Amino acid sequence: MKKMVEEPLYFIALSKLNLFGINEVASNLECFKTRDAKAIASKVLNKIADNFVFYPTRSLLNHFSFTQNSQEIKIRQEFFSNLKKNLDNEFLKEIKEPRPSWTPKYEIFAVTSNEKTFMELKKLGCPVKFITSSEDVQALEGCDVIQAIDCDEISIYLEQLPQTIFINKIEDVYLERHLELLSGWRKNLQVISEQNNIGEELAKQSQELLNLLELIDEEKTEKLTRELAEERISDINEQIFDKIKELNFSGEVLVKILSGNSIPREVEEIIERVISENNLPEEVLLKGIPVKLDEKELSDFIRRQETNENTSLSERIKIQASRVREIPKKLQELEAEILIFDFFAGINKFLEKQSNLNFPNTSGVLEIIDSKNIFLNNAQDISFLLNEESKCSILTGANSGGKTTLLEHIIQLLVLGNIGLPISGKVKLPTFSEIYYFAKNKGSSNKGAFETLLAQMSKIQPRKANETFILADEIESVTEPGVAGKILCATSDYFIQRGCFLVIATHLGQEIKPHLPKKARIDGIEAQGLDENFNLIVHHNPILGRLAHSTPELIVEKMAKSNDNDYLKYLWEYMKTR
């Protein structure tokens, strides 16, 4: 079971599938040998894929490629039988293609004195400088953050710049680029983290990446700006003067205070206390009456503050380098896990729409009991059988009775069963290596269409008994009715002798009946009559061994029974006895 889970991950990596791409893996439908057969098989796969959120997820259906290995099918059945239930992929509709929402506020310069390293650094997408002297280092003084690598000879000069961070590996330079990438996933990761029943691996991976975003979350600390300093110094002086008013000074002391020549101890204490209460760094102040800002120290402080903040973030990222450099790989793994979850949840959703689900048995016979067609709403239960005694069904019935639908239903069951999914009803399926379907010809009868059909039929070369399945829908339409019955009989007999299974839908049951080949059976989807608007009243379940009435017969019967007319009655009696 673990292997079955790991294989889709490998399939995704090998196929280079990504969550927001439009790429897909071509369906492996080699066993379907005609365009019409491939079309129905693709229709089944698309019906399943309608339950996926992401387009590339449908490619995972191709991981379960068509196989004749009955043991492989059983492994798939076991795998799907153990899928977690009640998986819901609706929340995946909130997952949007990432757009980076964060970039460093500081400019990064990568520097080196190694030519080879310099060429590698140029690929990273950040400004790169080649430095060889102390003069080169001096030119970097105005840079926000310097990331130095392979600068052995001039590292002593770089150490004098507080914004320098020394890096040991090229892959650890400009790690911020990975966090930029990750920032676009913030909302997606939050959506995933809020879900239950998404599986341990998906929950774990999303939480790990969400935790890494804390590196770039701005701390709620107040920064000193010139505007804030001026506002604070005004408050400080106002508070100092208010407190001084409460003191009693002699005229001589007051003159000294105002002249700035001397400040009494009690006034100094007031100044110190008020400054400390207003959270303004002492080094940017000139203490006196009034307190003033030291412009040079204030500029230097703000500059150091920015430098420290930038280097602090860059240092934090450097400390987590082993985790940060894994972000692209982790995001790929996350996308793969989302695709797999989408696949499993979509399969669950598809199956929940069905009823009476059972895993089909691999068998030498085709047996269908009470199965519903997934293409139909309010579908009727259908039963059907082909075995060694009856390898061919000549399927008869009125127009719109359901002959074509039954042919497509059989192909549908073969596709679902081979994937390993449970299907409606109790079903036994052979493992065919070749499936041919010749759909109803929608054009007129002509020589070219007839020759094309014979050419296609002639290419069918069954290798082993019970491995080839041929389905044909009213192929008599491409030639004259007189000869079509003979061609159908000869075609059935030829392929029965070569061990093939066949289902041939036709209106020529009467013409074929006298010449029915051995191991062939005439079946009928029998209409129960016509309503007042001459629409068929029909149960679509074929009756094995019975020739079904055609639409003209039903019309004659209806008119004969509803009209007291000798001609109509004669016509009906004649048709019943012939």
Report the alpha-carbon distance of residue 128 to residue 148 in Å, rounded: 10
Mark whether 389 and 479 lie in a shared domain: yes
Q: Indicate the residue type of 30.
A: E
Helix (H, G, I), strand (E, B) or coil at 433: coil
Neighbours of 39 (CB within 10 A): 15
Instruction: Quote the domain boundaries for residue 182.
Output: 86-217+293-353
């692209």: which residue's tokens? 328
CA distances from 34 to 67, 373, 438 (A): 18, 22, 7
Neighbours of 85 (CB within 10 A): 8
| Per-residue model confidence as pLDDT tens digits over 62-108 | 888 888 899 999 999 999 998 888 899 999 999 999 999 998 888 88
Tell me whether strands 366-371 and 361-362 are parallel, antiparallel or unpaired. Answer: unpaired
The per-residue pLDDT for 564 is 83
Q: Which two three-digit tokens encode residue 280?
A: 């303004």
Helix (H, G, I), strand (E, B) or coil at 34: coil
Mark whether 108 and 144 lie in a shared domain: yes
Mark whether 373 and 443 lie in a shared domain: yes
Burial of 553 (0-12, 13-18, 19+ CB in 10 A): middle
Is residue 184, in this structure, part of any structural domain at all? yes
The per-residue pLDDT for 1 is 42
Q: What's the structural domain count of the chain?
A: 4
Mark whether 120 and 265 lie in a shared domain: no
Mark whether 308 and 348 lie in a shared domain: yes
Is residue 9, in this structure, part of any structural domain at all? no
Is residue 61, in this structure, part of any structural domain at all? no
Q: CATH number for the domain including 494?
A: 3.40.50.300
Mark whether 387 and 497 lie in a shared domain: yes
Neighbours of 68 (CB within 10 A): 15
Mark whether 300 and 429 lie in a shared domain: no
Mark whether 213 and 321 lie in a shared domain: yes
Cis amide bond preceding 552, omega within 30: no
Is residue 91, in this structure, part of any structural domain at all? yes
The per-residue pLDDT for 153 is 84
Mark whether 275 and 159 lie in a shared domain: no
The per-residue pLDDT for 2 is 45
End-to-end CA distance of the chain: 61
Is residue 16, in this structure, part of any structural domain at all? no
Is residue 408, in this structure, part of any structural domain at all? yes
Mark whether 338 and 359 lie in a shared domain: no
Residue segments in the chain with a per-residue pLDDT below the cut of 70: 1-6, 218-222, 224, 247-262, 284, 300-311, 442-447, 481, 527-538, 549-551, 578
Report the alpha-carbon distance of residue 428 to residue 361 in Å, rounded: 5
Angle at which helices 551-562 and 566-577 pack, to 10 degrees? 140
Is residue 112, in this structure, part of any structural domain at all? yes
Mark whether 365 and 343 lie in a shared domain: no
| Per-residue model confidence as pLDDT tens digits over 371-428 | 999 999 888 899 999 999 999 999 998 777 789 999 999 999 999 999 999 999 999 9
Final residue before a domain boundary, out of 353, 380, 405: 353
Mark whether 511 and 418 lie in a shared domain: yes
Is residue 537, in this structure, part of any structural domain at all? no
| Per-residue model confidence as pLDDT tens digits over 217-271 | 865 556 767 887 788 888 888 888 888 777 665 555 555 555 555 677 777 778 7
Report the alpha-carbon distance of residue 53 to residue 346 in Å, rounded: 8
Report the alpha-carbon distance of residue 17 to residue 19 in Å, rounded: 7
Closest CA to 163 of 144, 139, 190, 191: 144
Burial of 288 (0-12, 13-18, 19+ CB in 10 A): exposed
